[in-house]
Structure 1
Amino acid sequence: MKGMICERLDGPRALRLADWPAVPPGPGEVRVALQAAGVNYPDLLMTRGGYQHKPALPFAPGMEGAGVVAEIGPGVEGFAVGQPVAVTARSGTFADTITVPADALLALAPGTDPAVAAALPVAIKTAHVSLVRRARLRAGEWLLVHGAAGGVGAATVVLGKRLGARVIAAGSTAAKRDFLRELGADRVIDAEPGFAARVNEITDGQGADVVFDPVGGAVFEESVQCLAQRGRLLIVGFAGGTFGVPDLQRLQRGEGQLIGVRAGEIGRRDPAVGAASRAAMRELLVAPEFAPIVRESLPLDDAAMALERLDGRRAIGKIVLRTA
């Protein structure tokens, strides 16, 4: 068995293809033979020791994947050897095998493209928890999505449209803005400083009812300036390096809300909510409008290059690693 292993916290170039043990499943666990793995920004942070979850060295990055059930541990029901599944994990999918609790699996229909199934669980879960659970987005509301051309941002654009919102998507390059138009965003804007004035213009001075911000820093601070009355600003991440300092007086005047999002923790804190989230993910994973988010497929040993593309903001949509 093989995996892309991180043995020191020196960033993506510290990864190397190495032997990786196949762990027999224990009670309540399933071993999956992985065919593909999605690449996410937290994977990059983990290779530097900069993410909230810090797996012990050595480890394989990777928070999502897809493949087929290879072994089933005692007490597991509802899965069969050879069944196609998607996997979510805190780490470990940059490999050709992973052993996880059975509730970390999503059953897939036969014939489902493993590359699509591997690329979307984290993005769809983050988008769903953000818009449905935390912001309670309503049809007709204005939704501003930052980092919209990345995997999570793109899924948020698509889900926002599916929920009936009017979506403003911010992209930093012409190629990214073209991609966002292809996804169906109602309005596409430049992500450069000054975007708040453009958002206020588009919304006739109202501002965005919901802002999805995985960037932080100056983007977060400027987003307060285009938040609607009683608007909700979702704090999803800090790809820009810092969280930023909000204008609290403006938030107070506008009765605005700052809402933190930790989509990966929701099921661990509340199993019932986690089960509902997984049910929604199963439905959305096969929705055809999400498939265009997957833009590139690379061999497993190109994992470092894939992470460096995320680091340099060069990726559009999701990158998938072929693990089999």
Structure 2
Amino acid sequence: MKAVLCRSLGPASSLTLETLDDPHPGPGEVKVRVKAFALNFFDTLIIEGKYQIRPELPFSPAAEFSGIVEAIGDDVDRFRPGDPVIGYVRFGAAREFVIAIEDDLVPMPDGISFEAAAGLSVTYGTTLHAFRDRAKLQEGETVAVLGAAGGVGQAAIEIANIMGARVIACASSDDKLAFARSLGAHETINYANEPLKERLKALTSGMGADVVYDPVGGDMAEQALRATAWEGRYLVVGFAAGEIPKIPLNLVMLKGCDVQGVFWGEAIIRDPEGHWSNMTQILDWVRQGKLKPHIHAIYPMDRTAEAIQEIADRKVRGKIIVRP
């Protein structure tokens, strides 16, 4: 099989495309022929050894994929050869065949392309877990989305809309905010030239946002927390800005608000049935046309390094998909 390999930590340009022996599933394992895999921001970090997960070299990047079950090992109950599936394996999906355990996979319904399905797990899975399981988002509440033009930002706008929330998209440029409006954002804030706290307060009649969805961190975090409503929920999703903020805890006390960690990768290990339920819901929304994943570009496998560099250069809106 063909596989994209990281043999030494470094930039995307150091990745190689090589031929490896085909893998075989062991007990409890499923072999999937990959039809498409998706790339995320953390792929730019994991290949340089800057991510919280540090695989042993050599390894393949890419965590999420779609494909068809090729073979199963003993004690596999949920899947049979020929079943279409989507999956999440933390790393290692940038290859023609992936070995996964049952809990890593979710059945893929008819009516969804492999390209659209490949990029659903991380961004949409993270976001539905954040809103449904952590924040307990209610219809009619206001959600402020930081980094609104990125992958999880896009997912947050779309899912918050489906759940009946009012969405305020926050980003660093007018063209990113135009993209956010095209996804359904009701209000927008350009925090490169507008004070985030004051604008969030103004757009919520001084009350603040019920839920803040923050995959960015950095300088905007404290401003957004200061604009969180009484008994609001501040969702810590990630640190795309590269800086982990230090939050004054007196703000949490004075607002009676909750700062909630969203560690989707651990949540799906601890609650695989909850993950199955969330992904089934997401796939159903896509099938119904309520969710329309935005694909920035589709690359062939021999251009995976170029695709990862596009993400590193912050040129991507939505998802990059690669077809083996």
What TM-score range do you get, normalising by the shorter chain? over 0.9
Is the contact between residue 120 and residue 285 of structure 1 (CA under 8 Å) also seen in structure 2? no
Cross-structure match for 1:82? 82
Cross-structure match for 1:45? 45
Cross-structure match for 1:36? 36
Q: Secondary structure at the match of 1:290?
A: coil
Counterparts in 2 of 1:22 and 1:281: CA distance versus 1, 3 Å: farther
Counterparts in 2 of 1:122 and 1:107: CA distance versus 1, 3 Å: same
Cross-structure match for 1:301? 302
Letter in 1 for 2:311: L
Counterparts in 2 of 1:315 and 1:273: CA distance versus 1, 3 Å: same
Structure 1 residue 111: deviation in Å?
Answer: 4.5
Bigger shift: residues 126-135 or 80-89: 80-89
**Pairing of 1:240-319 with structure 2 (within 5 A):** 240-319=241-320
| Separation of aligned partners in 1, 2:195 and 2:304 | 35
Cross-structure match for 1:170? 170
Q: Secondary structure at the match of 1:8?
A: coil
Letter in 2 for 1:296: A
Counterparts in 2 of 1:308 and 1:191: CA distance versus 1, 3 Å: farther
Q: Secondary structure at the match of 1:56?
A: coil
| Separation of aligned partners in 1, 2:285 and 2:46 | 27
Letter in 1 for 2:85: V
Cross-structure match for 2:213? 212
Structure 1 residue 3: deviation in Å?
Answer: 1.4
Counterparts in 2 of 1:119 and 1:270: CA distance versus 1, 3 Å: closer
Q: Secondary structure at the match of 1:22?
A: coil
Cross-structure match for 1:116? 116
Structure 1 residue 290: deviation in Å?
Answer: 2.6
Q: Secondary structure at the match of 1:127?
A: helix
| Separation of aligned partners in 1, 2:20 and 2:208 | 50
Letter in 1 for 2:68: V
Bigger shift: residues 176-185 or 264-273: 264-273
Aligned residues: 323
Mark the runs of 5 or more structure 2 residues left unpaired by the alignment: none
Letter in 1 for 2:86: A
Cross-structure match for 2:197? 196
Mark the runs of 5 or more structure 1 residues left unpaired by the alignment: none
Deviations 1:56-98 (A, max 9, x none): 1100011101111111111222323222211111111111110
Structure 1 residue 292: deviation in Å?
Answer: 4.0
Q: Secondary structure at the match of 2:128?
A: helix
Structure 1 residue 286: deviation in Å?
Answer: 2.9
Is the contact between residue 106 and residue 276 of structure 2 (CA under 8 Å) also seen in structure 1? no
Cross-structure match for 2:158? 158
| Separation of aligned partners in 2, 1:268 and 1:119 | 19
Counterparts in 2 of 1:72 and 1:285: CA distance versus 1, 3 Å: farther
| Separation of aligned partners in 2, 1:33 and 1:108 | 14
| Separation of aligned partners in 1, 2:299 and 2:96 | 14
Is the contact between residue 107 and residue 282 of structure 1 (CA under 8 Å) also seen in structure 2? no
Counterparts in 2 of 1:97 and 1:191: CA distance versus 1, 3 Å: farther
Deviations 1:243-302 (A, max 9, x none): 111132222111121111100111212344344334334434434233242221111222
Q: Secondary structure at the match of 1:25?
A: coil
Deviations 1:193-249 (A, max 9, x none): 622211111111111111111111112122112111111111111111121111322
Residues 1:2 and 2:7 aligned together = no
Percent identity, please: 35
Letter in 2 for 1:137: L
Is the contact between residue 43 and residue 62 of structure 2 (CA under 8 Å) also seen in structure 1? yes
Cross-structure match for 2:228? 227
Cross-structure match for 1:183? 183
Aligned Cα RMSD in Å?
Answer: 1.6
Is the contact between residue 146 and residue 213 of structure 2 (CA under 8 Å) also seen in structure 1? yes
Structure 1 residue 99: deviation in Å?
Answer: 0.7
Letter in 2 for 1:319: I
Is the contact between residue 20 and residue 95 of structure 1 (CA under 8 Å) also seen in structure 2? no
Is the contact between residue 103 and residue 272 of structure 2 (CA under 8 Å) also seen in structure 1? no
| Separation of aligned partners in 2, 1:318 and 1:279 | 20
Q: TM-score when scaled to structure 1? A: 0.94
